[in-house]
Amino acid sequence: MEDQLIESVYIPRMTGRAFKVSRNQLVKVTDIQGKQVCDFFAISMNDSNEMLSPVYTRSILGSLYLKSGDHLYSTLRRPLFKVIKDTVGRHDMLFAACDPIRYLDYGLSDHPSCKSNALAAFLDIGITPAAFPSPVNLFMNIEVKADGTTEIREPTSKPGDHVVLRSLDDLVIAVSACPQDQNACNGFNPTDLRVNIYNPEKSI
């Protein structure tokens, strides 16, 4: 028996969407055309002050990178997700979400951003975050050099590459198909994402 598809969410380029997931459901994030970053945010449905935290995740894992079997942790150091499958193996937990001020650096005053996308998506389903959460940037390729500096490189993800996460709590998730087109973040060409929500064949 296969996992039961509950919802399929299409995220057009440069936009965001939000949705709710229950404990033990599977969240599959797919890079449809390749080289597209997904800014991934989550907030506990039981406590809006508890959010997905790349800082605590890095600290607890002792690593800058994720791999299958790892957990993603909250601001209260609780595991919120488990990485069930990852066909890419290269994601980012360092960079903040792009925001309107970031695009002013490029001389752009009215450019979509992941922060604006996420806030609008949360609001669409009636959620106002107590504070703006930090994202785990799925498919984003950041090179950390020996001298501590970083470089944004094109994602290594190919069309159809995906990450499957198991939700370990009742959560509100927002995702943004990152609109960054001024550097290599999305290969200079933002594209679409898809998120599928499944009830697993067996609860774990």
Model pLDDT, residue 130: 86
Which residues does 96 contact at the CB level (< 8 Å), separation at least 6?
134, 135
Q: Which residue has the tokens 């159809």?
A: 160
pTM as predicted: 0.95
Model pLDDT, residue 1: 40
Model pLDDT, residue 200: 87
Q: What is the mean pLDDT of each run of 10 residues along the chain (204 residues)?
A: 86 98 98 98 95 98 95 98 97 97 95 98 93 96 96 98 98 98 97 96 54
Per-domain boundaries in the chain: 4-199
Q: Which two tokens stand for residue 127?
A: 């959620």
| DSSP summary character for residue 123 | H
Residue 189 neighbours by CB distance under 10 Å:
12
Contact (CB, 8 A) for 114 and 97 = yes
pLDDT in tens, 114-136: 999 999 999 999 999 989 999 99
| CA–CA dist 14, 10 (Å, integer) | 12
Model pLDDT, residue 202: 58
Torsions phi, psi for 78 (to 5 deg) = -95, 145
Distances in whole angstroms, Cα of residue 24 to Cα of each of 1, 53, 86, 160, 174: 17, 19, 18, 24, 18
Quickly list DSSP for 159-197.
Answer: TT-EEEEEESS-EEEEEEE----SSGGGTT----EEEEE
Among left, alpha and beta (phi > 0; psi -120 to 50; other), residue 147 is alpha
